[in-house]
Structure 1
Amino acid sequence: MKLFLKRANALALSSCLLALSLGVAGAPASAQVTAFKQAVAESASVDDAIATFYRQTGYAPLWTGEDDVHRARRAALFEALETAGLQGLPAGRYPVDRLLAEMRDARTVRDLGLVEAMLSRAFVEYATDLRSGVLVPARVDGGLKREVDRPDAARLLAEFSKAEPIQYLRALAPASMQYRALLKEKMRLEGQIAQGGWGARVPVEKLEPGNSGPAVVALRDRLIAMGFLPRSSVARYDDDLRRAVLSFQAANGLETDGVAGPSTITAVNIGPEERLKSVLVALERERWLPRERGERHILVNQTDFSARIVDHGQVTFQTRAVIGKNTEDRRSPEFSDVMEHMVINPSWYVPRSIVTKEYLPKLRRNPRAVGHLEITDSRGRRVSRNHNFSRYSARSFPFAMRQPPGKNNALGLVKFMFPNQYNIYLHDTPQKHLFAHDVRAYSHGCIRLAEPFEFAYALLARQEEDPKAFFHRVLDSGRETRVNLEQPVPVHLIYRTAWIGERGQAEYRRDVYERDAKIWEALSAAGVTLPAVRM
């Protein structure tokens, strides 16, 4: 009822609307129009783009007319602002009560002009937040290199002025299936929080098939509440519970052994409030991604340690990945780019930071250290190992370092290039043992692939009749060879601790770099809230 009354109030403004349109407020109509324009110009001047829109339209009202078109715009805007929290936006950020009060109290045409500009500012803030996110990524964490397309306010207002209001406002949200699925998960978690959560925590560190007792009952009840197990009163760790544990482990990136060990129990004990925070962060991250991701694109989810090729929304190839080590200078960044080519039998041109931080100290102690690397001057000529490297500092060291192609090359036998300023790419590695670990954060920042050859075959399949034979023909030559992709492929390096899997099951991962914790802190400071627990 409260929402209905607010919307009804939004449809009707004070009688000064009639004064503006009919000139019956004790002054000539032209003077009132001038006063309205001056008020709009004054109030809109705090935002250059909004001021530009009104200058371009001759300060014609977008919101404060009394006809059905303007009434429909106001109603649609207030409905959107009142329900902003449903999208995971900070509901208190949009001054609904203040706007209604200003509209109710407007007594002069000047007041009406101020209301007009206030409505436009509220619309622009809401539209920008829903379309491009509440936060500016780079201000939250240095690893968030994502460049977000934040629309121009004048363009938003111009588009809205020509559109059906409700449809336009709804279309501002990402249209991806992932965004819609996350909204459903948000509503599900909010309902469970309101009902008191998932029950008692599991009080032990390990449970396995054959166990029984109160701890097994607690495990059973939480898995039932989460939706992994049908209702049951069995107090024994039976096959049904083991299968539920397997499903839970798969959905949380844990080793799928059916035993509720320490990692599994820790994950089971995470409450719906923490999971909801991950979902709200994922919604914000989804708003940051490009609207057009490519009919074929590569998706690297750092928290899942995986790389996927996606064709028309379906995963057609997937492999395990290693990401950057969790230190300040090695964490893998997040951004989007376009893969243009691969290099088979690559050389490794050692980044300057690694040369000076890791290898130069060794060369100072022993000029024949790191013998698998060539040292070259500015002309590419090899430098003798008899050189006195001890006289150089990190700043003055004049040489480069390179590892020639070969099976022991740090990049393995193939790398996949999407040239970028961060010098990040996907590549093979000789350190195959790392892929057996659950948490795979070991690299200097680049993404290592467990199945790089198969990844290459999948990419080449669109341009080679026999991609495998082609790849190995080049590989067997031993020569460093660039192979261009005839159809470049967008690459999205993302970081999601919550997403909805292909079968509609919510999946959660650890916040490896603690980036999501920072994003949640920023969203919370902006006004995004969790629901209260019903007592």
Structure 2
Amino acid sequence: MRDTSHYTQQEYIDLTLDSNTVNRFLETDTAYAEYIRDFYRQRDFHYAWIGNDGQLTEQAGNFINMMKADAEYGLHDSTVISKPLREMYDTLLMEGEKLRPGDKAAPTAELLLTAQFFAYGNKVWSGLTSDSAKSLEWFIPRKKINMESLLDSMVNKPASAFEEPVNKQYKLLRDQLKKLDVLEKMQWDSLKGTRKIYKAGEQDILIAGVKHRLHLLGDLAVADTSQLFTPALDSAIRNFQDRTGLKPDGTIQQSLLNALNITPKQRIRQILINMERIRWVPAEPPAKYLLVNIPAFKLYVYDNNQLDWSCNVVVGKPGANTVIFSNEVKYVVFAPYWNVPPGILVHEVLPAMRKNPGYLARQNMEVVTGSGGPVNAGSLNWSKYSGGNFPYIIRQKPGGHNALGKVKFLFPNEYNIYLHDTPSKGLFGENKRTFSHGCIRVSAPQQLAEWLLRSDSSWTKQKIVEAMNGSKEKFVSLKERVPVYIGYFTAFVDSDGRLNFRDDVYGHDAKLAATLFGSK
């Protein structure tokens, strides 16, 4: 008796596969054998991709076109579209995409498409395994995909209704691949200058070359072959500099030429690396969250599923990398103490105290027990402590010169990383902001505190300012915890639709490239 618990009369095709045929196929294609067998068992071995008339279904055509587009625009991998499936489809195209009734190729074509779905879905929608991601220092929990449920959705819904289980950013980057694919076929000679700097109003043959390059890249809207440095070129340069992480000063210098000389092929590879990372993140992020993109040195604040505002951040210097992970902001701490971390204690504070007993007082620091009780620093024999044997805590008192500034934002984690204010405001004006010991300094701490506490009527702007400038540490538990993602994306499309690139500040791109492409 046929099992109708999974599919209604309208949801399956009359044609059925012989279970022995399925088993024989799975002897040679074993990668997803369990999934394939379960899929057909649940639908009582009815076809999913080939109609009663031998015609490929609309959904099959949509799936094949999806794979062919990915293969064409950079995803050159046999798992994206296998050679047997490609050959089968090319043959069908020559024969009008139709199999003759009783055609012996029909069962193979049907099973190839199902096997391909699992291979493609795991490659394109899931990416590397979780273990591989962790070896690449990525600790944000991976999204989970029910591939069997997704296959049901693809074969039963109209092709136009199928939604790929990927983050919107993935689709935006994939669209950019198509544009770069056109540029890759063009000659991309290196632009070379004879002077250190070129400014508005000047004339030079190099200026014409820069105009041409910026026009190809979409930054200069109207083609201009003249050698004059025009106001339009100034604007185009600033736009390009801004979206590639350069200081937007509107001048032609070596840093600009270096960025313009990066070939489309190199940029395609950079996009593919970041598409792999984006496969790992939730397809539908929460409506409200914080995102720190380490290579962009930015904090992005999202509300109601769109960017609300953003600000500059300072992240860990190479060797003291800010960790890639996710959590929830639970506390805002006003006028915080700063507990000196072990590394700084060993390499900075203890040597300073051995040289000058007045160091702690000058830094507004104190020694306390684990429970916060005071310890007389003058009574300690500092020469006998090397760091690991120091039994107390050294902390900096609240105040304007506190290393954490006037407020910090906690999402307790094993890496001891958090967001915080800083007295060193000048560093936010630097272009490459890798200066911290791993924590993230925020250029707009008051705005972030107001945003996090905006649904709590007891916290007015005035009260927040008073608490930030207070002399006593004050913990505030958020009524609504906010997800925070510390990410690493060197290629992304911004809220204005511009393709952005950033430098690989920690070398993570190079490691991932070796995994994806087999080379550095």
Which of 485, 489, 498 is the aligned partner of 2:482? 489
* Mapped partners of 2:132, 2:485: distance in 1: 16
- Name the residue aligned to 1:239: 231
Q: Retained in 2: the 8 A contact 1:49–1:153?
A: no
- Name the residue aligned to 2:315: 323
- Name the residue aligned to 1:344: 334
| Inter-CA distance 113–321: structure 2 relative to 1 (3 Å threshold) | same
* Mapped partners of 1:126, 1:441: distance in 2: 38
| Inter-CA distance 323–274: structure 2 relative to 1 (3 Å threshold) | same
| Inter-CA distance 117–184: structure 2 relative to 1 (3 Å threshold) | closer
- Name the residue aligned to 1:469: 462
- Name the residue aligned to 1:253: 245
The structural deviation recorded for 1:148 is 1.1
Q: Retained in 1: the 8 A contact 2:335–2:406?
A: yes
Matched, 1:96 2:82: yes
| Deviations 1:371-419, CA, capped at 9 Å, x for gaps | 5433334444344433334445554443333223222221111011222
SS for the counterpart of 1:131 is: helix
Note the aligned Cα RMSD (angstroms): 3.7
- Name the residue aligned to 2:70: 84
Superposed counterparts of 1:377-388, under 5 Å = 377-385=369-377, 386-388=379-381
Q: Retained in 2: the 8 A contact 1:300–1:308?
A: yes
- Name the residue aligned to 2:101: none
| Inter-CA distance 377–196: structure 2 relative to 1 (3 Å threshold) | same
| Inter-CA distance 47–352: structure 2 relative to 1 (3 Å threshold) | farther
- Greater RCO (CA < 8 Å, at least 6 residues apart): 1
Q: Retained in 1: the 8 A contact 2:203–2:227?
A: yes
- Name the residue aligned to 1:531: none
| Deviations 1:171-193, CA, capped at 9 Å, x for gaps | 224252x3333222211111111
Which of 112, 115, 124 is the aligned partner of 1:130? 124
SS for the counterpart of 1:424 is: coil
| Inter-CA distance 396–175: structure 2 relative to 1 (3 Å threshold) | closer
Which of 34, 38, 62 is the aligned partner of 1:53? 38
SS for the counterpart of 1:208 is: coil
Which of 174, 178, 188 is the aligned partner of 1:183? 174
Query: 1:485 is matched by which residue type in structure 2?
Result: L
- Name the residue aligned to 1:147: 141
| Deviations 1:435-489, CA, capped at 9 Å, x for gaps | 1211110111111011211221232223337731120233344221122222222
Task: State the TM-score, normalizing by the size of structure 2.
Answer: 0.81
Task: State the TM-score, normalizing by the size of structure 1.
Answer: 0.78
| Inter-CA distance 94–143: structure 2 relative to 1 (3 Å threshold) | closer
| Inter-CA distance 74–337: structure 2 relative to 1 (3 Å threshold) | same
SS for the counterpart of 2:78 is: helix
Q: Retained in 2: the 8 A contact 1:342–1:414?
A: yes
* Mapped partners of 1:477, 1:40: distance in 2: 72
| Inter-CA distance 310–409: structure 2 relative to 1 (3 Å threshold) | same
| Inter-CA distance 160–69: structure 2 relative to 1 (3 Å threshold) | farther
Gaps of at least 5 residues in structure 1 are: 1-16, 22-32, 105-109, 527-535
The structural deviation recorded for 1:513 is 1.5
Matched, 1:508 2:501: yes
* Mapped partners of 1:63, 1:286: distance in 2: 30
Q: Retained in 2: the 8 A contact 1:299–1:491?
A: yes
- Name the residue aligned to 1:214: 205
- Name the residue aligned to 1:304: 296
The structural deviation recorded for 1:322 is 0.3
| Inter-CA distance 437–137: structure 2 relative to 1 (3 Å threshold) | farther
* Mapped partners of 1:85, 1:173: distance in 2: 18
Q: Retained in 2: the 8 A contact 1:81–1:91?
A: no
SS for the counterpart of 1:93 is: coil
* Mapped partners of 1:389, 1:52: distance in 2: 70
Q: Retained in 2: the 8 A contact 1:141–1:518?
A: no
Higher mean alpha-carbon deviation, 365-374 vs 246-255, is at: 365-374
Query: 1:189 is matched by which residue type in structure 2?
Result: L
Which of 334, 344, 352 is the aligned partner of 2:324? 334
The structural deviation recorded for 1:356 is 4.2
* Mapped partners of 2:382, 2:213: distance in 1: 62
Q: Retained in 1: the 8 A contact 2:133–2:139?
A: no
Matched, 1:399 2:392: yes
Q: Retained in 1: the 8 A contact 2:167–2:279?
A: no
| Inter-CA distance 216–78: structure 2 relative to 1 (3 Å threshold) | closer
- Number of residue pairs aligned between Structure 1 and Structure 2: 489
| Inter-CA distance 489–141: structure 2 relative to 1 (3 Å threshold) | same
* Mapped partners of 1:227, 1:100: distance in 2: 34
| Inter-CA distance 86–299: structure 2 relative to 1 (3 Å threshold) | farther
| Inter-CA distance 81–359: structure 2 relative to 1 (3 Å threshold) | same
| Deviations 1:277-320, CA, capped at 9 Å, x for gaps | 22222322222221232222212122221112122344322211
Query: 1:256 is matched by which residue type in structure 2?
Result: P
- Name the residue aligned to 1:8: none
Higher mean alpha-carbon deviation, 351-360 vs 272-281, is at: 351-360
- Name the residue aligned to 1:431: 424
Q: Retained in 1: the 8 A contact 2:293–2:486?
A: yes
Q: Retained in 1: the 8 A contact 2:50–2:110?
A: no
The structural deviation recorded for 1:95 is 5.7
Q: Retained in 2: the 8 A contact 1:82–1:96?
A: no
The structural deviation recorded for 1:520 is 2.9
Matched, 1:289 2:274: no
The structural deviation recorded for 1:501 is 2.5
> Percent identity over the alignment?
27
Q: Retained in 2: the 8 A contact 1:206–1:260?
A: yes
Query: 2:330 is matched by which residue type in structure 1?
Result: E
* Mapped partners of 1:448, 1:473: distance in 2: 21
* Mapped partners of 1:180, 1:102: distance in 2: 28
Higher mean alpha-carbon deviation, 210-219 vs 350-359, is at: 350-359
Q: Retained in 2: the 8 A contact 1:356–1:394?
A: yes
* Mapped partners of 2:64, 2:314: distance in 1: 47
* Mapped partners of 2:83, 2:225: distance in 1: 50
Query: 2:193 is matched by which residue type in structure 1?
Result: P
Query: 1:323 is matched by which residue type in structure 2?
Result: V
Q: Retained in 2: the 8 A contact 1:301–1:307?
A: yes
Query: 2:324 is matched by which residue type in structure 1?
Result: E
Gaps of at least 5 residues in structure 2 are: 1-13, 92-103
SS for the counterpart of 2:518 is: helix
| Inter-CA distance 53–480: structure 2 relative to 1 (3 Å threshold) | farther
Q: Retained in 2: the 8 A contact 1:338–1:490?
A: yes
